[in-house]
Structure 1
Amino acid sequence: MTLRKLTLLALIVASFFAPAIAQEKFDFYSRGPYRQSVPRPSAITGYEPGQFQTPHGQIARVLEKIAATAPDRVRLLENGETWEYRKLYLAVVSAPENLTRLDEIKASIARLADPRKIASQAEADQIARSTPIVVWLNYGIHGNESASYEAVQQVIYQLAASEEPRTMEILRNAVVVINTMHNPDGHERFAVWENSVASGNAENFSIEHDEPYQVYGRSNHYRFDLNRDLLAMSQPESHALIRGVREWRPQVFVDHHGQVANYFFPPAADPINKNLPIENSKLWYDKFGRGNAAAFDRYGWGYYVRHVFDVYYAGYMDSWSSLNGATGMTYETDAGGPTSINSKLDDETILTFRQGIAKHFTASMATLETAVSNREARLKDYYLFFKTGMDEGRTGQMKRVVLLPGRDPHRAASLVRNLVREGIEVTVAREGFRSSAAHDYRGAKPASKDFPAGAYVIDLNQPQKRLAKAHLEPNPDLDKDFIKRELERRERNERRGKNVEKEGYEFYDITSWSLPLAFGVEAYWTEDVATVRGAQVALREGATPVQQMNSLSFAELSASDSQPLPGLAGGVEGGRATTAYIIPYGTDAASRLTIALLAEGFKVAVSTRQLNAGGRNWPAGTLVARVHRNPETLHGRISALARETGAQAFAVNSAFSETGDTGIGSESIVSLKEPRVLVVWDESTSSTSYGAMWYTFERAYGLQFTPVTINALNGADISRFNIIILPDGSASAYQNALGKSGIDKLKGWVQNGGVLIGIGGGAALFTRKDVEMTSSRPVGSEEETPAAAPAQTAAQTAAQTATQPAAQPTPKEKGKEAAQEKSPAVEEKPAEKKKPTEPIAVPGAAFRAKIDRNHFLSYGYDSDTVVVLFGGDTFFRPSKDGANVVTFAADGALTLSGFVWPDNTEALLAGTSYIIDEPTGRGHVILFAEDPNFRYLWRSATQFFLNSILLAPVLK
């Protein structure tokens, strides 16, 4: 290239980036002097902040180098490992005199967090005067919100190297715990891709602003949104976070995010979870917000408060940390990640990655300054948070929660394990006890009830009362003023013409998350606290390495009396069978055992009628492994696998049935086929729906499957597979991607015996014009014919932020109160409303549904009703030609928990179907109106989903 051309190119580049360069005034190193022995991050990485996306290994080098050169201020601790074997690090930063007494500091704060260990207010005040405040800075929970990953390096350097008086004051008065890389797996996907394509082009449609679907780094390895996993607690990153917070017990917690149009920090938007001390929480949000504002105003930066980002859903990082006693806050920066190195704002202003990093750095440092300026007051309020919580637990109407192991003790134990992991005290009863006022979670009136030995008891008069109640109460309370504003929005929307843009609703996530309801565990809350003789349940940390984690591993759980927890030990009863092994169906352990046996080539069958074997009656759905149809190795393997999974199996030594017409040799015993599963995973699919299914299959049940794009599906030989699943997603996108030939191919495959399963939007595909694989139609669609526009489900209406907008006006989702029997929203009905015809999207509420117990998809359920999560605006009319396996009753109250729209939701949901089976030729088309694997949190419908995979290929 000639010199002239090079000069011209240089001028073009300079001109292109001139607006951005002109704005770069922020100096990361203005708060010195700095110790020369501690290297700047740029000296380690080779580039300045904002020039490159720093991958995990490089950030680890920065942390290690700074820690090694500033050992008097920094402790770098390994805190866990991800699925992809990346280390999770905590950096603990403070003054040398504090680092030498960390154990003493932790012990003092642990006393504040347990008022039973404090003799008086004066003693608490003395601890507050003499103890540094603990501030937790959390970076990078969403891996493609990448400014966090750069800002954390600058914050650690500032604290480790600066001798500026303000920084030294922070070090003397605070222990700063920094979760350096919350989601390195997601960030690595994003950083490697972004670095490979980025050129600094500010056009928002350029390739570097268009993150590929399969890369999408917001989520972790299993595509879980880690800012929604603190209820399910299924991911190792969440375990590490919880373990760290339980150890360090911060009084201030900041979760760093991006990207929004302008920076956000608290005060938070309404509503705020009512298990928090609302006025005190708002006081601290305001104090930290004003501190941040002063720092931003020095630079003339824009920001906003009290909008969008609430503290309601009990599984957000900010709300969860708040429920643990901290002032928990979300900070959202406006650059980095999808905005790449440079991007254009709506007025053509150039926004740079460096600016986004600078704002996170500035907010982090301002937060630390506010924290140390208010150290003593914040520590005093931290103590009062737990003390007043215990007072409420002792005097409130809801005093105790009782969980029954029931027919699936592993499901109950998995819930208990989650509670114990986050420091909630749980007792396992060793003798029966009685309550004179017990409230059934399913809504029955309070009554006297006897509880058996083996029940799990959570008394709310304990330090973690606020967290325990927030996670366990049947119906979280939702602020009435907030509800009023949403109903007013609805009225304004209904007055607008069809071509006028409607207001978006302010729900931000699901409004029902009660863990007993979500896990499908029988539960009661009581107004009294009868004496219980029992043992405290404990968690043995480190018992299960990350790579061996699965949701059914209970090696970590123990009881203080060293006796086993009820029903967790698996095995074969009756020794070596000569005829068959009976496996009672309907538990997580039984499903895992069955999948493992089929995967190893053993033959397992299902009884389609009540079975009599071994002198006992077994319900339809019972599984049978017949000895004469299996190799000799069956005996050893079923015994070993039953112990490993915790499942129960029973040896039977005769095929003769003592009663009834169905025994081991009956023709009603139908052999299962090993599931050969294809799951669609591409742009048509919700990545979190796919991820929850991936985790459910691979980690929870050990089921192997083949992920496939629609393009590959259209061209592949699918005859070798007996299950194809379309996760939640866009029905219209599915239809467009498949095309007529792809749809016809699926129809032919079903006719020949395939089982096609659709979830949410994947199920809505089957109702659409020119697809029509079901006689069901969505409520409110034109003449009850397939809708032309993609619909929303709870997975789509939930967890949608400004950086992940909804396809339709976004509901933002909220909840209600434990002791309440019905939703306030249902009570406040506007007058004179015309009969609704179109559903308004439901922000994830819990509903009672009826089960057709005679259908094979209901095998394993022993009740005629089930509580399910349902959200969105796609309500399926009952099928005229198929089986409506799970339905919403045509009359009576449907809502159990969460917000519903008065004179709309229940009126239109009544009589519709949650699960439909359309027998087609030799196969099935099965529709789930909502995701049965949602976040691996709502597990009450998991058995229906497993039945569609294990049983549908062989049953009609």
Structure 2
Amino acid sequence: MNRLLIIFFFSSLITASQNHTDLSYYLPQDINYNQNIPTPESVIGHQVGEWHVTHDKLVQYMYALANASDRITIEDRGKTFEDRPLLLLTITAPKNHQNIDAIRKKHIEATNNNATDTKDMPIVVYQGFSIHGNESSGSNASLLAAYYLAAAEDNYINELLDNMVILLDPSLNPDGLQRFAYWANTNKNINLNPDPNDREYSEVWPGARTNHYWFDMNRDWLPVQLPESRARIETFHKWLPNILTDHHEMGTNTTFFFQPGIPSRTHPLTPKLNQELTKNIGNFHAEALNKIGSLYYTEESYDDFYYGKGSTFPDINGGIGILFEQASSRGHVQESDNGILTFPFTIKNQLTTALSTLNAAKNMREDILKYQHDFYKNARQEGIKEATKAIVFGDEKDAAKTFHLAEILNRHKIKFHNIKQDFTANGKRFKKGYSYIIPKNQKNTRLINAIFEKRTTFQDSLFYDISAWSFPLAFNVDYAENVSTNNLGEQVTNLQQKIGGVSKQSDYAYLMEWHEYYTPKLLNQLLNKNIRTKVALKQFSMNNKDYDYGTILIPVQNQKLNGTGLYALLNKLAEESHIQIDAVKTGLTKGIDLGSRYFKTLEKPEIALLVGDGITSYDAGEIWHLFDTRYNITATKLDTKTISRANLNRYNTIVIPNMGSLSESNTKKLKAWVKDGGTIIAYRNTVKWLKEKEFIKLDFEKTNVSAKNISFEEKSDFNGAQVIGGAIFEAKLDRSHPINFGYKNDKIPLFRNTTVFIKADSLSYNNPIQYTKNPLLSGYISKPNLEILSKTVPVQIKKLSKGKVVVFTDNTNFRAFWYGTNKLLMNAIFFRKEL
């Protein structure tokens, strides 16, 4: 009872104090503020921190500021998947705005030559807020930061704006921010309740951390697969900011973190001076937080290894990235180990460090500008040493994958060329029109190294994120390093996809090889229109061309369309998907003829994707995104809550991402559906559940790591070192198996971040994909785990009565940039009866 009285007492105080939180709580009060600049409250209708600002109100306020202040211009850089604007405010002195393009060009030009005079150059600071939508104190603080920069009037702010260009991104994740504001506001009590058990502090699945397709966008700075990322990366390379801040939240019972992170976990390509400057900037944060009495820590927990995060991406691009992590109230007020944590307090800390960053930039301007200029000077010198060297990549059977990797290079302002003519390197053939070559002698040579590197030795065995991301392996393209620049053709300045189409009209049949990335999209469109198609289970040749396993046959006769209509449809779809389709006039071939029993009729997929409680939303979102945005496949998002009343007979395929378990009644229903002919395709920990519930018979290899001479203090690090946080491994393929149709090589790089180890089947033909003897290609794995892995398989396919169960130990669709294994899922769907 006493505890309840205490909570009631504090709740009353909290309610009273929060409802009266005004600008004086957040902002410096020893200066004047321009009365002609609208305050946040005057536009959004409430004090900052009283409610969670919705994205539409955030947008409204930023436009109001831009209209009222000659220090601010605003631009709409594009739209999210949910059609919300991606805003950017450029904030600087009015005189700088009059010359802003010249300032930007001079800033960029200084990174292209050996200029060292930084005396009169403004420093550029990019401030980004709340890339995770439910870490909303950042975006709410952006209201105050923008107001302060527009309205404050004293010598300090004038000097700051004279010598600085601030790129303020008020919401890096508009869709997630809107989703979370709705949740927090609709569950808010009039009498604020700090009880952590209150519904306000526990979002429903999938939560608002992510964007529309449930992606963690703070992992997409390097892959650049999402519209939000593309907008900010375009801005980044347009300006090359000297400092980039990334405002986050963490667990409620923590305090406040600012970088640097753990020193031993900094990527080796990052200069040491980068971390020294980061630490010096941190002194300004410490001083500012000391003044308001906020606890904080640094050089713990987080790291600067994976370059796909906002706080690390600048480090390989001549800037300094800074991560801020604020203990989260997850709503409006919550009990914590450090006392009652209010939403306004979290906002105040974010604002304090946003302003301390600007103070650091002002005071360290010349040192930081010199660092950037030296970074690119040294990079150019490194490039000159490799002036005759280049990297070539491509896939002579798949122009689309090659194109999409080139797209990433293009977004990062990396120069590349067509190859002059076909040539062979490292035993791989590179075909003109299907390959690109990157000269190492260029400004962004360090970024090239980061994108293409394979690394297997590390200073530390723990990682906050993945330890490997080599892009040619992720795309499963052929590539070779240290090739001669004599192979360079013309530079690619207008990147375009290969032209597709049908060779000519046929009265007999058409053939489409399965190698191209978008063939599943085209096949799905044909099946949706009830066009009969067949798949070749064997290789054959005709018209001086070899056709591989998985070639799709479209007969002309006995179709829903006449010959002319079928040709027009195929040509339209082939052009749209950039695929070449061959017309043939006979069924005779070298090998299986077109009427052979080894051509199997395909069935239209009817797909359900399991989502909801118990499912990892990242994995589910990646699959949904793949279906919806790349292959135009309509898949029903089947919630775990509705399985019991759903008619599963509508579907022939159910995809289950990483999952813990289902209720016994739903398990029983799902098993009956499989036995009746359905196909389950499952990932990661779902594999264990399927074995436990006897959907599939599997044997697992067990890890057996003993902790010898490990102290209690070292326990956490020891156990963490056994985690496979994200590395790349080589596997061999049985190319004749339908799960591998469309792959031209007999080896494939696979991403892995689990310790689910499936023993190989005793029958070799039941192991269509199997890890090689020495499988590690890039990334960290402990020696005991590596020894176990080499004996296992990443895929197994088993019958269950009339149905099939296909299991993958790891994600084939990782973060949208793992193009190289997307087709494994497509094969499991389209060729499910042949597996």
Alignment match, 1:537: 492
Whole-Å separation in 2 of the counterparts to 1:425 and 1:776:
48
* 1:417 matched to 2:376: no
CA drift of 1:272 comes to 5.0
Q: CA deviation at 1:885?
A: 2.1
Distance 1:602 1:924 in 2: 25
Give me the whole-angstrom Cα distance separating, in 2, the residues matched to 1:399 and 1:765. 50
| 8 A Cα contact 1:144 1:187, kept in partner | yes
1:53-132 paired onto structure 2 within 5 Å: 53-70=52-69, 72-114=70-112, 118=113, 121=114, 124-126=115-117, 128-132=118-122
Counterpart residue number, 1:42? 41
| 1:711 positional shift | 2.9
Distance 2:718 2:471 in 1: 25
Q: CA deviation at 1:67?
A: 1.1
Q: Give the structure 2 partner of residue 380 of structure 1.
A: 370
Deviation of the 1:706 alpha carbon: 0.3
Q: Sort the Cα spacing of 1:396 and 1:477 in 2 relative to 1 into closer, same or farther, 3 A.
A: farther
The amino acid across from 2:42 in the alignment is: A
Find the partner of 1:738 among 657, 663, 669.
663
Query: Is 1:470 paired with 2:470?
Result: no
Out of 387, 396, 400, the position equivalent to 1:406 is 396
What's the CA shift for 1:29? 4.9
Question: Residue 12 of structure 1: CA displacement?
Answer: 9.0
> Structure 2: how far apart are the matches of 1:725 and 1:949?
9
- What is the CA distance between 1:90 and its match in structure 2? 0.3
Q: Distance in 2 between matches of 1:812 and 1:937?
A: 26
Deviation at 1:670, TM superposition (A): 1.2
- Give distance in 2, aligned partners of 1:132 and 1:451: 46
1:867 partnered with 2:753: no
- Offset of residue 908 of structure 1: 1.1
Identify which of 152, 166, 188 aligns with 1:162. Answer: 152
Kindly indicate whether residue 723 of structure 2 is the aligned counterpart of residue 841 of structure 1: yes
Q: Does 1:627 align with 2:538?
A: no
Q: Contact (CA 8 Å) 2:684, 2:754: kept in 1 or not?
A: no
Give how far 1:109 is off.
1.0
Which one of 496, 509, 525 corresponds to residue 596 of structure 1?
Answer: 525
1:934 is matched by which residue type in structure 2? F
Quote the offset at 1:812 in angstroms: 7.3
The alignment partner of 1:201 has SS state of coil
Query: Offset of 1:61 from its aligned partner?
Result: 1.2
- Secondary structure in 2 matching 1:577: coil
Q: Is the 8 A contact 1:433 1:530 kept in 2?
A: no
Partner of 2:283: 290
Shift of 1:68: 1.0
Shift of residue 884, structure 1, vs aligned partner: 2.3
* CA displacement 1:445-503 (0-9 Å, x = unmatched): xx9x885544311122211111111011122763x2x24xxxxxxxxxxxxxxxxxxxx
Contact 2:388/2:485, CA 8 A, preserved across alignment: no
Is 1:643 aligned to 2:641, yes or no?
Answer: no
Structure 1 residue 430: deviation in Å?
2.5
Aligned to 2:229: 238
Structure 2 residue aligned with 1:762: 686
**Is the alpha carbon distance of 1:713 and 1:31 closer, same or farther for their aligned partners in structure 2, counting shifts above 3 Å?**
farther
Report the CA distance shift for 1:925/1:31 in structure 2 as closer, same or farther (over 3 A). Answer: farther
Query: Residue 846 and residue 125 in structure 1: after superposition, are their counterparts in 2 closer, same or farther (change >3 A)?
Result: same
The aligned counterpart of 2:759 is: 877
Asked whether 1:457 is paired with 2:400, we answer: no
Moved more, 908-917 or 924-933: 908-917
Partner Cα distance (2:133, 2:154) in 1:
32
Return the alpha-carbon distance in structure 2 between the equivalents of residues 450 and 719 of structure 1.
47
Change (3 A) 1:96 1:757: same
How far the C-alpha of 1:113 sits from its partner, in A, is: 2.2
- Show the counterpart of 1:710: 640
TM-score (norm 1): 0.81
**Counterpart-to-counterpart distance in 1, 2:270 and 2:632:** 43
Deviation digits for residues 207-230 of structure 1 (CA, Å, limit 9, x no counterpart): 11111113x111000111000112
Structure 1 residue 710: Cα displacement:
2.0
CA distance in 1, matches of 2:589, 2:214: 51
Q: Distance in 2 between matches of 1:296 and 1:629?
A: 76
Q: Distance in 1 between matches of 2:270 and 2:685?
A: 39
1:68 to 1:762, Cα distance in 2 relative to 1, 3 A: same
Distance in 2 (CA, whole Å) between partners of 1:105 and 1:473 is: 34
SS of the residue corresponding to residue 298 of structure 1 reads: helix
Query: Which AA in structure 2 matches 1:174?
Result: M
Q: What CA deviation, in whole Å up to 9, does each residue of 1:624-675 have, x standing for no partner?
A: 11111322222111010000000111001122x1433x21222221111111
Quote the residue 2:824 is aligned against.
944
The verdict on how the C-alpha distance between 1:31 and 1:462 changes in structure 2, with shifts beyond 3 A counting, is farther
Change (3 A) 1:429 1:593: same
2:386 touches 2:441 (CA, 8 Å); kept in 1?
no
Give the C-alpha shift of residue 910 in structure 1.
2.0
Q: How many aligned residue pairs are there?
A: 808
Aligned-pair identity in percent equals: 27
Contact persistence 2:610–2:656 (CA under 8 A): yes
Distance in structure 2 (CA, Å) of the matches to 1:460 and 1:810? 39
What secondary structure is seen at the aligned counterpart in 2 of 1:628?
coil
User: Which runs of structure 2 are paired with 1:474-513 in the superposition (5 Å)?
Assistant: 474-475=454-455, 478=458, 480=459, 482-483=460-461, 506-513=462-469
Name the SS of the counterpart of 1:893 in structure 2.
Answer: strand
Correspondence list, 1:486-885, <5 A: 506-526=462-482, 529-538=484-493, 557-558=495-496, 568-573=498-503, 575-614=504-543, 616-630=545-559, 631-632=561-562, 633-655=565-587, 657-660=588-591, 662-730=592-660, 734=661, 737-739=662-664, 741-768=665-692, 771-780=693-702, 840-879=722-761, 883-885=766-768
After superposition, the Cα gap between the structure-2 partners of 1:653 and 1:380, relative to the gap in structure 1 and judged at 3 Å, is same
Residue 73 (structure 1) shift: 0.4
Aligned AA (2:768): V
RMSD value, Cα: 2.5
Secondary structure (helix, strand or coil) at the match of 2:769 reads: strand
Do 1:405 and 1:413's aligned partners in 2 also have CA atoms closer than 8 Å?
Answer: no
Quick check: 1:155–1:365 contact (8 Å CA) kept in 2? Answer: yes
In 2, the alpha carbon distance for the partners of 1:948 and 1:372 equals 57
Take 1:879 and 1:766, find their aligned partners in 2: how far apart are those partners?
A: 17
How far is the alpha carbon of 1:275 from its aligned partner? 5.4
Aligned to 1:301: 294
Q: Relative to structure 1, is the Cα distance of residues 178 and 671 closer, same or farther in structure 2, using a 3 angstrom cutoff?
A: same
Q: Which residue of 196, 220, 223 maps to 1:229?
A: 220
Question: Secondary structure in 2 aligned to 1:758?
Answer: strand
Matches within 5 A, 1:414-453: 414-432=404-422, 453=432
SS at match of 1:264: strand
The 8 Å contact of residues 186 and 218 in structure 1, kept in 2 or not, is answered as yes
Matched letter for residue 40 of structure 1: T
What is the match of residue 781 of structure 2? 900
* CA distance in 2: counterparts of 1:398 and 1:73, whole angstroms: 47
Cα contact 2:221–2:308 (8 A) shared by 1: yes
User: Which amino acid in 1 is paired with 2:53?
Assistant: T
Match of 1:836 in 2: none
1:333 aligns with 2:326: yes
Matched, 1:955 2:828: no
Change over 3 Å in CA distance of 1:12–1:710 after alignment to 2: closer
Report if the CA contact (8 A) 1:849-1:887 is conserved.
yes
In the alignment, residue 701 of structure 2 is paired with which amino acid? V
CA deviations 1:552-598 (Å, max 9, x no partner) are: xxxxx25xxxxxx7xx111111x111111100012212222111211
Contact conserved, 2:401 with 2:819, CA < 8 A, in 1? Answer: no
Give, as a single letter, the amino acid of the residue that structure 1 aligns with 2:586. S
Cα distance change of structure 1 residues 615 and 391 upon mapping to structure 2, 3 Å threshold = closer
TM score, norm. by length of structure 2: 0.92
Provide the rounded CA distance (Å) in 1 between the counterparts of 2:388 and 2:313: 21
Change (3 A) 1:69 1:856: same
